[in-house]
Amino acid sequence: MAFSNALVLGLFVAINMVLPTLATVYSVGDTSGWAAGADYSTWTSDKTFAVGDSLVFNYGAGHTVDEVKESDYKSCTTGNSLSTDSSGKTTIALKTAGTHYFICSVPGHCSGGMKLAVTVKGAASSTTPSSGKGSPSTTTGTPTSTTTTPTAKTDSSSGDSLSPFVAMLIVSWIFYYALPLV
């Protein structure tokens, strides 16, 4: 009885962790993994990362995954790492918006290509439309400012509502063309 209750609770928690965010887990480098000679700027170029997504680095012995600051990423400087792991499989949860930088701290590997910069979109995209909707209600008393708000409102709302639609189109297009090939 106690076991089944725990099981149901565990399932409930698991479902709640997965469902609301629709987080994406990215396998860094796909089949290449985290290795020397890969080009991670190409790998990131067609991807959009959001808060809640995670990166999984798969690599053999003799590599590390270090999160570093931008300056250390650019210069391949080790020793100031924000975090480091050499377990062979490193999962990084992208918890904050902005650009996150990862390098391999083994000498020569970062300059050899084992460096990854990931730009994470914030939850800011969901707060911008709500602040845009809030401004017209406050400006109803002043007629002069109402003329300027519609332009700003249509700009932000069209940009925010269009991108998920376009993303859905692209995803369905990929599935439509890629699935028959597999």
Q: Summarize as ranges the residues that interact with Cu ion (CB under 5 A).
A: 63, 104, 106, 109, 114
CB of 182 to Cu ion, least distance (A): 32
Helices (H), the chain: 2-18, 40-45, 70-75, 124-138, 143-146, 149-178
Q: Which of 19, 35, 16, 15 is nearest to 27 (CA)?
A: 35
Closer by beta carbon to Cu ion, 56 or else 106: 106
Closer by beta carbon to Cu ion, 113 or else 132: 113
CB of 105 to Cu ion, least distance (A): 8
Closer by beta carbon to Cu ion, 100 or else 115: 115
CB of 97 to Cu ion, least distance (A): 27
| One-letter identity of residue 52 | G
Residues 56, 31: contact at Cβ < 8 Å? Answer: no
